[in-house]
Amino acid sequence: MLLPFYLEILLISFAVNAVVFFITKNITFFGDRGATDNEKMLIAASKYSLLSYPSKLHLIENSRAQLREFWVISLALTAKFFKFKNSEAVNIALSLISNSFNSFLIFIIFIEIFNYQIAILAFLFYLTSFWSYQIAIYLGHILFSTTWCLLSIFLITKLSYELSYMDFIISLLVGATLVICFSSSSASRKYPPFIVLFYIYDFKL
């Protein structure tokens, strides 16, 4: 059965990222107090009400939430599980959670396109890449945005291109995930060409 196998891949991904979090959880902000974007977004998250519109973030002074609205909202949710809600550990935790899902999504996307052997190689390549962990420490919103980008790509693989109701629902979900992707990190502007190329490739398959 595939489900237990998928679950093992997900658990391995979370286990590796949990180790990284344990090692880095006491890291402090790399600039003066209140000087880094990470700290500014955490402060904005602490002032944001989850019952408010995302646009309310822009009324918070120095929030640095422009094109990162959903990242800051997710920080507000993640911070509820921490005693020190404005510590860098909140940023790192959300980043590594996102990174865990990224490894898993890469695995299932490669299964859809290629086969299990290539999917395992792609999964291990990403899981053991130092780049993603470095990004998790300094610019976690990129990994969060990547999660939603990969989720949209996975949904695209499920399109049958038969103009069915299911295709309509999947297309709506693709659109919704891309809205979150582009509103989670200013770096997400790099993703549209990649997504379009993948869509064309998937359509020709």
Would you write out the chain's pLDDT as a tens digit for each of its 205 residues?
456 688 999 999 999 999 999 999 888 777 666 668 888 888 899 898 888 888 888 888 888 888 899 999 999 999 988 877 778 899 999 999 999 999 999 999 999 888 899 999 999 999 999 999 999 988 889 999 999 999 999 999 998 888 889 999 999 999 999 999 999 998 898 899 888 888 888 776 6
51 is written with which tokens? 């019952």
Could you please report the per-residue DSSP string of 75-117?
Answer: HHHHGGG-SSTTSHHHHHHHHHHHHHHHHHHHHHHHHHHS-HH
Q: How far apart are the first and last CA of the chain?
A: 26
> Where do the DSSP E strands lie in the chain?
none
Distance CA 58, CA 44 (A): 9
pLDDT at 31: 65
Distance CA 87, CA 18 (A): 17
pLDDT at 66: 87
The pTM score is 0.91
pLDDT at 162: 83
Q: 């550990």: which residue's tokens?
A: 89
Distances in Å between the alpha carbon of 47 and those of 11, 62, 81, 138, 163? 33, 12, 16, 22, 44
Q: Which residues contact 33 (CB under 8 A, 6 or more apart)?
A: 39
Distance CA 172, CA 182 (A): 15
pLDDT at 1: 46
204 is written with which tokens? 């020709």
